[in-house]
Amino acid sequence: MGDDGAVGRRWHLVAPLLVVALPACGRTPVAWFEAFDAPRCGERAEDGFAQVVVGYEPTAGGGAWPLRDDVIDPEAALGPPDHQPTPPLGTVSIGDGGTLTIGFEPCVMATSGSPAADLVVYEAGFDERVVVELRPTPATRDQLGDRVGRDGYVRLSTAPDREGAIDVDAELGGAGLQFDAVRIRDVAGQGLETVNTPGADIDALEAMVVANE
């Protein structure tokens, strides 16, 4: 396909040829132009990693919050894993009972329908238990019905395994369920060994399958 710039130039060249027929189709040139330029999720390896911060509440559980300035930037959890043992650590500490919510915009996470993992939470340092909650897209929300809480999230009873992996569809059933954000909630009462960085230390979040909503 060539590089992104080449793809963009190709669409710009052919777009004027299509504009002539657009009024009869009831669509504006802008609508077609946006369709051509829309990202095709999953083409790049980095598409599977969280791209945006939706929320960060290290005090959500009422417990201790991080005391180090270099572990309170939630954007440290975006992109591929990059933890290192010396500052900057490349992780965000979410606090004792705190939460971190990140998303895959403009992509969405999708379940595969296979026994393989659908989601991987990369945690650094001591393994600390977390609860994972998923925000479904409107179509998936209708499919899941009462499983979706009042806050719009589905709380998984399945915890990440030793590798941080979760097979989401093993619990929710079916392939093609879509979620646009993931909330990671620390299980309060841990982290005695890490007084200055309480709660899980999140390095990255990866969806094994991503798609356009």
Q: What is the spatial distance between Cα 29 and Cα 33, in angstroms, rounded to a whole number?
A: 6
User: For residue 163, which of 200, 212, 196, 117 has the smallest C-alpha distance?
Assistant: 117
Domain locations along the chain: 4-37, 45-211
Does residue 181 sit in helix, strand or coil? Answer: strand
Enter the CATH code of domain 45-211.
2.60.120
Per-residue pLDDT of the chain (213 residues; tens, 9 = 90+): 444 444 333 333 333 433 444 444 454 554 444 444 566 898 888 899 999 999 999 999 999 989 899 999 999 999 999 998 888 889 999 999 999 999 999 999 999 999 999 999 999 988 889 999 999 999 999 999 999 999 999 999 999 999 999 999 999 988 999 999 999 999 998 766 677 889 999 999 999 999 998
